[in-house]
Chain A
């Protein structure tokens, strides 16, 4: 059973459809208790860092996520804002602490003049061949991005990058965490392939 965290925003329905399409059993976690029985957790996107963290705190999700994912190594898939929330800090909507499940911080994208923000549309991800996500991905695959802020993280956890005038982190992986800046649930077959990888890792961890 895979639980999608509800922090008062997030495109839960789209994520649920994609997981169903892969054949996973899915539930929505409205509180931390709903996470305990889950074999894997998804932190969805479509939100704003500030409000999302306020809600995660208010709904008592923070410590349970840090325990389950950070210490008990439960598999987690972070999508878009969901990847950013894993970081230590973001400047979106003010100065906000994140979940601190990965080393890194989130800042507004700074790129060449003439390129507008948000970075929205289909863009090509360059994958590191020696990563789990990279191994399953096709060369030249495009994925759907829609973000104004980006993750700054150590190279060791970066599995894929994307070019938007500057090189941005497209995906990370670290032990039990897989996360993407793009929306795999909205990136057709290339995205579904990534979600399938996550579902397989969840099954293998049980």
Chain B
């Protein structure tokens, strides 16, 4: 059966991968291509690449960034940030993206989604919705639209979107968990896959998201940068609660215990010794 996805988000500002806090503060992480390489190895089901600087000066997407990041990814890459017309979508896919997410432009003009779907297929066209104080906001969280998330999601579905990405501005960087109530409502009401983003602080939050809502995917940003194998730890937590995920890695942490904060419990020295001498040859295709 289809597995739910754990999506690694990389937010890029002026070419640098950053942690995002409430859409208003950004802390540097490093090279986005390096982050992508790690996430690709750590079991990410998709990469979500957001160029926060793309809208400035209306220069359009940074194709070089997309090319460098997607080169390392043998999982799908969704590109987002300042996408305003079908030609930009074409360029972004030619540069290495496999899907795109439109935000403000798609809300101002839903026919954009229809035009992207017409040329690239609806499955390629994601409508991203930023939600603050229970309403949809655009222009990097600065402008309220007066639209409810539900109406916006339904409009996007009607326009031919393939997926909805629902991001909570309020919870961005808060590490207190996803907005479960909102996500449960939207996922239930809309006949499209819903991707949740905003607030994930530890693996338990993804467990709660998947147990309490029908979303198809958990997108995670900041938290993935706090620990090695972060995505693998999330998947291990999901498996331990009985959920199925896709895992192609030998590092399944199956016999290891995490506390509620997602920290691994101390492992016996004898077990560490065993791991130390276990040789896992890299598969050469």
Q: How far is the CB of A119 from chain B (nearest CB, A)?
A: 7
Residue with the greatest number of chain A CB neighbours at <10 A, chosen from B1, B3, B77, B120: B120
The answer to whether B193 and A116 have CB atoms under 8 Å apart is: yes
Q: A11-B97, A185-B74, A189-B248 are in contact. Are A196 and B5 (CB under 8 A)?
A: no
Cβ contacts under 8 Å, B90 to chain A: 9
Instruction: Tell me whether A17 and B70 are in contact in the complex, defined as CB-CB below 8 angstroms, given that A46-B93, A123-B1, A148-B123 are known contacts.
Output: yes
B45:A121 contact, CB within 8 angstroms? yes
Report if B191 contacts A (CB, 8 A).
yes
Q: Which residues on the B side are within 8 Å of A22 (C-beta)?
A: 285
State A11–B98 Cα separation when bound (angstroms): 6
CB of A128 within 8 Å of the partner chain: no
Q: Is A205 an interface residue (CB 8 A)?
A: no
Q: Is the interface of A mostly helix, strand, loop or mixed?
A: mixed
Contacts of A8 in B (CB 8 A): 119
Interface residues of B (CB under 8 A from A): 1-5, 45, 67, 70-71, 73-77, 90, 93-99, 117-124, 162-163, 191-193, 216-217, 246, 248, 283, 285
Within the assembled complex, what's the spacing in Å between the Cα atoms of A50 and B121? 10
Asked whether A117 is an interface residue with its Cβ less than 8 Å from the other chain, the reply is yes
Q: Which one of A47, A186, A187, A188 has the highest number of Cβ atoms from chain B below 10 Å of its Cβ?
A: A188
Query: Chain A: residues with CB nearer than 8 A to chain B?
Result: 8-14, 17-18, 21-22, 46-48, 50-51, 81, 93, 115-124, 142, 144-148, 163-164, 183, 185-193, 196
Contact B192–A116 (Cβ < 8 Å): yes
From the candidates A11, A81, A148, A196, name the one contacting B285 in the complex (CB within 8 A): A196
Is A120 a contact of B191 with CB atoms below 8 Å? no
Nearest CB on A from B62, distance (A): 15
CA distance A68 to B256 in the complex (A): 55
Instruction: Evaluate contact between B285 and A192: CB separation under 8 angstroms.
Output: yes
